[in-house]
Each structure stands twice: as structure tokens, then as C-alpha cells.
Structure 1
Amino acid sequence: MPFWLKHFDRGEGGAGEAYHIGVFGKSGSGKSGLAAYLLLGYARHKNMGIIFIDPQNQFASDTDLPFKLHESLKKLGRKVEVYSLTNQIRLGTKNNAVNLFTSLLLKAGFYRNIGVKSKENQEYASEEVARIIRVILSNQQPKIELKNACDDLLLNVLTSLRNDNNALQRIYGSKQAKERLEQTLDSIINENIEFQRVKEEIWQPVLDLFLERDSQGNQRKSLWLIVEKAATDQTKPVVFLDIKGKGTTFADNEEIKALILKEISITLRVAGEREFDKDKRLNCLICLDEAHRFVRASFGNDDNSEMSNLTKTFVDGVRTTRKYGLGYMFITQTIASLHKEIVQQLRLYAFGYGLTSGSEYRQIEELVSDKQALSLYKSFVDPQSSKQYPFMFLGPISPLSFTGSPLFLQMFTEFSKFKDANKLVEQSQGNLFNQNTL
């Protein structure tokens, strides 16, 4: 059965607009395998950019998928680029690097470790440290940017902060609290062991994310350029961004990763606005695996956590980016994990096993009016026991979608089983099909 996996631009094979996709199902339902097939389908369009944001390094490392995804993409004539946050991606631009750096320091616990305890005071400290860093960089001859910062930057920052009475007083208004901060700064500056601990455990791992050549000798590439190239180059690569952060002190810090994801989203929006002003479209698909780890179902007006800020960014993005030719694919375990506005903006839905109770099933009922289809979906058997991976699709996925009814299919995790179930394809294509191609 043919699938309508159209690119997001005008012309042959194009949908004429971007749309957003949701792939839902409990762990083990086959979401990753299905996403791999979908990626390969969209990758047939060489004028379509694809950026896959991978928090688990499954797609970036091309492991535990039904087929060799990277090799298959290359056989389609697509260039595959993989970048790791651990040692290859450089954050920040000339205009926002310092602010982003000091924000990441806040999430990493830097200000708490130099004696600033409360959240409000830490925010003041972050602003003062940002100001001090700008002064230090601008006083270098010639002036330098954060990406070229010297090894003694931390010592210079702590010393400048300790000697800046106005900055200390802004962080702590009371004399007693200010004196405690001064004592803590003195001990860190003068005690080599504590200074090295703060530098090695917090400061340097975060600073490395902004350096052209980090402390381990890795040459890093600008995230802005990586994302912009994938979205706007005439020859668009398929880009996998491994944000797992393996081997770093922030590997399990979801707030830091949420801040980075927000930067990616903002970069894409800016690129989209620029192309839109030229009467062009990005024609790009952004895939976010494990979306439930970063996107909240709701947020309060007074909630300034990076998770909530990222959710607000995505809510705004799904409303506005379609006109730029920019679509998102959210891969997640639950519908309830996504903000309702995001779910409502999706045009193509894929429901795997496990969403048949409580609020999860009620949301599916709101989307699917066909009672027989709902009954069939509820009959899905746990793939862990049946080794079958069924999905219910809703939206423009096939020529049969004009009926408005959901489309049911079986996803295969082994290529041999795919061939066994599609004898006509195997017979007609001969040797074209093998373990590494679709």
C-alpha cells in the first residue's frame, strides 16, 4: 500500500505545506522502528532537510533499528551527518553565547557552588557574571569571543566578582550575606583543591560546549551553522544530533538539554522567517525522540523552568512554523505528555500499543470517531509477547486517507519478516531489496 510521505514544499511530490506528526506508544511498541521507516520515506525527497534530535543516541549511532538506517539513507543519495554534544557541537552565537553560557552555569549548579544559595540570588549572580565575562573578553587585545576564551577565564571571573562591591551588593543586599559570599569566593580563589573541583566538575564541562577547540582538544562545529545548513542548503544533509552528553557531568541534566533544544528551535524559526521573507520555504522535518522528557503537558505563567520555557517555545512553534515549511515529528510514549495545543496542531498521528486507558484513550476518542476502528485499536496485543507491532494511523498517510477512517498497519522490526509479508514486492524488485535497503 503506497504511503503519502510528501515533502513540505510545492512541486512534484510536495504537500504544498508543512505539517506536524505524532508517533505515540508505550515503551516496546515499535515507535523507533516506525520512525526509522518514516525517515527513510521522507528522505527520498532530496530537497527536504531532516534534523533528528536524539536524546538516547539510538538513531545517531544507528543501533536497534529494523535496518541500517544510515547506510540506507546514503543509498538514496543523501549525505548523513552525525554530531555529538559531548565533543562535536559548539553552542552560542556572537550575540547570545555569553548569556547562554551563564544560563547553563546556573542549571549546572555553578552559583550554588560559589556560595550563592537561593534561586533569585543565583539569577542576579548569573547576570553579574555575564557582565564581567563581557568586560574580560572585550579587554583582551585583540578582542576575543567566548569561543576563544583563555584557560584562566574562571580565575579572572571569580577575582573580578570578589573585587566588585557593587556586583556583590546586588547579589546580596544584607551585609552578613554579602560577607559570607566574599569569604566563600576567597576560599575558592585561594584554595587550589576547591578551585580545581569547581573548574573540572562544573565550569569547564559547560565552557567546553562554547569553545572552538575544547579542553580535550576536540574541534567543535557551531550548532547554528549545523542547523541552518540542514534547513537551507541546496544540498540538504540528514543530520542526527546526539544530545545524550555521554561522559559529561550534565548527561542526566534534562534542564540543560531543554535549554539547548530551545536554542535549536529558535535557530530554525529565525532561519524560517528569513527564508519566508524571500518567498522561500525551509522544507525541513525536525524529529524529537523521547519528547515526553522535554515537553510538558501544561505550564503555569510563573513557571520559568527550562522544561516549561521549551514547551512554550514548541507551542508557539507548531502554530507558526508550518508557513515556513518547517514540520515537527514528536516521538513519545504518551499523548498526555504533550501540551494539548501541540496535539491539536498535529496533522498525522500514529498510535502504537498501550494507549487504551484513562486520559490517553479519551484523547484518541476525541480524534477518531470510527467506533470499529477504536475497537480494533483496543484489540492490539502487547508486542513483547506477540512480537507484532501494529499501528493505527490517522491523517493524510495514504491515498485511502480520503475516507477519513484510520489506516492500520504492521511494523516489522526484522527485514526478513518484512520481505516474507510482502512477497509481491520481493518478486518484482529482485535483488534490489536486501538487509540494508527498503
Structure 2
Amino acid sequence: MRPLRERQEASSLRSTAAPLVAAPIAVIGSPNSTTHFTVDILETARDRALDHAWVVFEVTERFNGKMYRKRALCQLGGIITRNRWHEDPVIRAVIKHQGALPALSGESDLTAAQLSALGVFLLDDQGRVVRRTTLSTPPPSGTPVYPADAATLQDLVHTEPGIFYAGQSPGDGLPVPLTLRHFGPTEQGGFGEAVMIGIFGQTRSGKSILAAQLLAGFAANPHMGILVIDPQGEFGRDRFAAGDHRVDFSIRRLLAGLRHRRDVITLTTDDVAMEGAEAFTELLRRAGFFDSLGFKGANKEREAAERLSGLLTDLTDAGGRRRPIRDLTAADLPLLVKDLARFADVIYATRPGTMPGEGQRAADVLARYSLDETRLRRLWDDALQRFRVEPGKRQPLSQVIQQVLTDRAIVILSFAQENVADTPYFLLNEILTRLRQVIHRSFQDGRTSNALVLLDEAHLFAGEHADDTGDGARTRSLLAQSIRMTGKYGVGWMFITQTLHDFDKTILRQLQVKIFGQGFKLGADREYVETELGKEGFARYCSLPDPKRTGRYTFMVTGPIVALGSLGTPLVLQGFRSVDDLMRANPHCFGSS
């Protein structure tokens, strides 16, 4: 037995360990581990809404002769009610005839539940949070469990920088804090590195709404830039959950309401001047330029486009400096066509001994150009127009990206006006290429980047079907390379996608934060979600309500942005449905400074 003095010390600490909240709703039962606990629900709490509710309990642990006070925050689930009399075959035969039995039915029910630890916090003598920790031993049975409240949660995270409440707990409506810091040094309140985020969910699961709320949280950091790549125009038009009157959301209103007001620069691809040779030749290919010169079939067209791209990349001026695409002149076209004519003799079979440029294919290309020169020059000029810089109307793409990285601007770049049947891979290729160039140039100049790039509808560019075309395969490869390359320079990514099983696995492995919306309970995606959330977490995921019926968007969140988590347990979050709700939950971020 322990000495009397030691028992009295432990007893004294235990008596002061109870958090200052309402009466307990449960007690720790058996069996338990250091991360999962069985609890018995008290009779006084049986009528409460308990599923997914947050609860806390406190314990004291001895280590090297010292007592340590710890508070565990847990999420309650797996609720089961049992009645031993109703399970007895003899009694069940009586119930079959008489129905409920006085003093046995209901009165003898025993309700148990499972707790999953979200985080454990070390407390000082006054009950203030010192740091995150873990339990060294399971809590003793009989330990009281209390319902958490907003004040309790705030006490646990008040020392954390970048706290942002992006939703509620579906069980008890408590605000759910996330850590949305910038990507700068930790001594300045940042993560110290870029964070990669993936938001997954089927159509109408609320992915874009949650992403916009997270963007507002990141934008509350005034020294963080944000670039939104918007293929379908949802962010550019500021229309979320169109047709659902239960949702009232506006990203512009959110950003304008921040204490550090952030203005949004909304651009289309008509407002930026592209710069890369590959983008220029792709525009020509889509306009039928190479087909008109006699390069028939998709493969031959692409070979000709790649040849022209290489020629344009090597063009220099009189001083030996590389000439940008926007400086091409009408005199350049005939010279480039002559080289393409020689190239035609190379890629098409010609008679042995024929020099490139002397064969029938070369003559055919030159003849086609001569006959259709006016139209081909118009196609050439139309493509060049997308590269011309016009003050006040069209600025270089690299300059737009520089605004995000250096000036910490918030830019939404929309593809929605392209109106093309094929996915515009070449546009994203151009953006990724310029982004990497600007990041590298900034690093060489001694400037650090601190930005987040959001890619909506990411499955269009990083799904398996992207490999069906050469442009798509290049886009998918560039995306994977960009995540690995940009992260160390302080540029993070957020992907919004509808699929999991065919999403690029290299990208998935780089994501530290994964947020799962509805739609992955069956099929090929189920296995991946179950692996990420664990068996118990996936069971909770399957119990989440359908947003199409309830109008409430619920997600499972894992990763370092979970402010209350220190054990990797998935967190259930129900997103806000209006701008006003989000602002009220974050008075420290919104309103006058």
C-alpha cells in the first residue's frame, strides 16, 4: 500500500482536478486504454443529445515523485443501451404478452458509450493549460466525465495562434476551433512550413463552402497571400450552393468583414497575358493552325507544336537575350513555317537520301501556307493577342503571381469563360510553370514566400483520366512536382476534389490535412477513407447526416489544423451555413479593429 501521506496528496489533487463545468454526465467504466475509454452514462444525462458530443475529464499522474494534472478532451460516440432483463429469454417471453414490465423496462436500462481522445493537455496548479501531452496510464474507473462548453474549449486553445472557428460540433453545437496559421516562422505565429490540404466530397457535399470558410481563416493573417485557381467560376462569381435557399454565403463579404480588411482581385484568363511557348502553341493547335499546314492527326499536330515551342524558346534578340512570346512580329511567321516544313520531312516518311526541306512534305507545307497565308496570319495574331500586355487591361501572369507572393494579395483566377469542350490543361500548365519560376526567383532574391494556392475541381487535372492526353499527363506530373517543390518555399496547396480512388497518389501522400465530406461510404473510395480515419473513425463518418436532406454540411477533419487534437483522432465538424454565423463565431477576426 502507498504511504498515508502520498495517498492524501493524490486525494487532494484529485479533489481539485474537476473542471469548473456542469454536473458530470458519465463516469469512466471498463475497459480503457490511454486513447479510448468506456463510459457509463449517468441516469441524469440519458435524455441529452450525446452522439458526437465533446466531453472532458481530469486525472493526476505520478512521474519521478511529482504529480501531474492532465485534462483530456474526448468525443463521445458508440452509444449502446442494454437491459439484462430484456435480454433474458424467459422475461422476453413475458414481455411478448404483457409489453413493458414495471420497474424493469426503462428503469433498469444501462447506457454505455465510447470516448475517443482528441487531445490531452497538461495543466498548472491553477488549472491553466501549459502544453499538449499524452496520458501515461488509463484513467481509473469511476472518474467523472463532464460535458465540454465553449469556455472550456477556449481555455484549451487560448495560447494557440491562428485560432479560427470554422464550424460546430454536431452533437452539442459547440464551436470547433481550427489552427489556421500562416506559413511563416513559428516565432511569428506561423506553422514554420507550408501545409498541404485536401477537401474531398461528392457534389453538393459543401466542399467549396468549407474551403471558402478556411480561406477566410487563412486570410485573417494579413501577411499571407492567396491564389484561387477557379476552373468553373464558382469562387469568381461568388455563388455557393446555388439553388439551396438554406445557405447564405459570400466569400467577398467575409473577406471585406475581416479586422484586417482584404480585397479580392478577380481575374479571368482574358485579364492576364500568358507567357510560355507551350501555351502559345497549344492555342495555335486548338485553332487548327497545324492541321491547316498539313500536320494531320492529334499525334502529328502535337509533334509540330512541340517543335515550334522549342524554336520559340530558343529565339533571342540582337543582344542574345531570350525574346518573350509577346514580342513576336509578323516577320517571324514565315521563318518559323519554313522550319516546320523541314520538320515535316523528318516526321513523315520520305525517300532515302532526301534532305529535310527538300522532300514532298516540306513542299506541301509551304504550298499550304502560301495558299492560306491570310487566315493563318489571323490565327497567329489571335493567339499572340493572349500574350500582349495592355496597361490597365491585361497584365503578365507572372506579375499576378508576384502580387500574391510578394504583396500578399488575394487573387481569384477563373477559367469559366474559356467555353472549351476539353479540359484546359494548358492553362494550368502555364500557371504552374509561372508559379514555380516566380517562387524560385523570389528565393534567389532573398525573399520568402507565404501563400496558399487553392485548386478547385482538382480531379479534372489530377485524376487518372488526365493521362488520356499528353497535356493532361503533363499537368498531373507538374502538380505532383509543384507540391514537392513549393512547400519548402512557403507555398501551400488546397485541393478540392470529388474523387479519391483515381486521384494522383503522389499528391495524396503529400497532404498533411485531409477533410472528408459525404459520398465515400461505398465503392472504391470507401477503402481509402477507412484507412485514413481508422475503423472507429469510419464508423462515425458513416453516421454523419446527409447534407442533401438536412442542409447541413458535415466533415471529418484530420491533420495539424485540428487545434484541439494531439493524438491524430479525426474530428467531426459541421460547417456554418451563413456568413453571419461564421462572423459571430469569430469576433476576434471580424469587425472593426
TM-score category by the smaller chain? 0.7 to 0.9
Instruction: Identify the structure with the greater strand proportion.
Output: 2
- RMSD of the alignment, in Å? 3.4
**Relative to structure 1, is the Cα distance of residues 145 and 46 closer, same or farther in structure 2, using a 3 angstrom cutoff?**
same
Q: String of CA shifts for 1:320-359, please: whole Å, max 9, x gaps.
A: 3221111110000011242111111101111100011222
Query: Residue 23 in 1 paired to residue 168 in 2?
Result: no
Q: String of CA shifts for 1:257-315, please: whole Å, max 9, x gaps.
A: 32222232233333333444566531110000000111134887xx8711111111121
Residue correspondence of structure 1 range 14-413 to structure 2 within 5 A:
14-64=190-240, 66-76=248-258, 77-85=261-269, 87-92=270-275, 97-126=276-305, 129=308, 146-149=325-328, 157=333, 161=337, 166-170=342-346, 172-174=348-350, 175-189=359-373, 195=375, 203-213=380-390, 219-233=393-407, 236-244=408-416, 246=417, 248=418, 251-254=420-423, 257-277=424-444, 280-297=447-464, 305-369=470-534, 371-413=535-577
User: Contact conserved, 2:240 with 2:250, CA < 8 A, in 1?
Assistant: no
AA at the equivalent of 1:69: I
User: Contact conserved, 2:273 with 2:388, CA < 8 A, in 1?
Assistant: yes
Structure 2 CA distance, aligned partners of 1:42 and 1:160? 47
- CA-CA distance at 1:378 after TM superposition: 1.1
User: Contact conserved, 1:9 with 1:15, CA < 8 A, in 2?
Assistant: yes
User: Contact conserved, 1:5 with 1:42, CA < 8 A, in 2?
Assistant: yes
AA at the equivalent of 2:562: S
AA at the equivalent of 1:68: S
User: Contact conserved, 2:279 with 2:430, CA < 8 A, in 1?
Assistant: no
Could you say which residue in structure 2 is the equivalent of 1:13?
Answer: 189
Total equivalences in the alignment: 396
User: Contact conserved, 1:228 with 1:267, CA < 8 A, in 2?
Assistant: no
User: Contact conserved, 2:456 with 2:497, CA < 8 A, in 1?
Assistant: yes
Q: String of CA shifts for 1:199-233, please: whole Å, max 9, x gaps.
A: 66x545533221124xxx98311001100221123
Structure 1 CA distance, aligned partners of 2:459 and 2:388? 30
TM-score in terms of structure 1 length: 0.79
Structure 1 CA distance, aligned partners of 2:310 and 2:194? 41
AA at the equivalent of 1:239: V
- CA-CA distance at 1:138 after TM superposition: 5.7
Could you say which structure has the larger radius of gyration?
2
Which stretch shows the higher mean deviation, 259-268 or 284-293? 259-268
- CA-CA distance at 1:27 after TM superposition: 0.5
User: Contact conserved, 1:336 with 1:359, CA < 8 A, in 2?
Assistant: yes
Q: Look up the SS of the partner of 1:403 in the other structure.
A: coil
Structure 2 CA distance, aligned partners of 1:62 and 1:368? 32
- CA-CA distance at 1:162 after TM superposition: 6.1
Q: Look up the SS of the partner of 1:27 in the other structure.
A: coil
AA at the equivalent of 1:184: R
User: Contact conserved, 1:231 with 1:283, CA < 8 A, in 2?
Assistant: yes
AA at the equivalent of 2:179: W
- CA-CA distance at 1:159 after TM superposition: 8.2
- CA-CA distance at 1:130 after TM superposition: 5.3
Which stretch shows the higher mean deviation, 101-110 or 308-317? 101-110
- CA-CA distance at 1:123 after TM superposition: 4.2
- CA-CA distance at 1:2 after TM superposition: 1.9
User: Contact conserved, 1:315 with 1:342, CA < 8 A, in 2?
Assistant: yes
Instruction: Identify the structure with the greater helix proportion.
Output: 1
TM-score in terms of structure 2 length: 0.60
Structure of higher RCO (CA pairs closer than 8 Å, 6+ residues apart) = 1
AA at the equivalent of 1:219: K
Structure 2 CA distance, aligned partners of 1:168 and 1:320? 37
Structure 2 CA distance, aligned partners of 1:258 and 1:188? 29
Which stretch shows the higher mean deviation, 354-363 or 48-57? 354-363
Which stretch shows the higher mean deviation, 372-381 or 160-169? 160-169
AA at the equivalent of 1:4: T
**Relative to structure 1, is the Cα distance of residues 357 and 251 closer, same or farther in structure 2, using a 3 angstrom cutoff?**
same
User: Contact conserved, 2:315 with 2:323, CA < 8 A, in 1?
Assistant: no
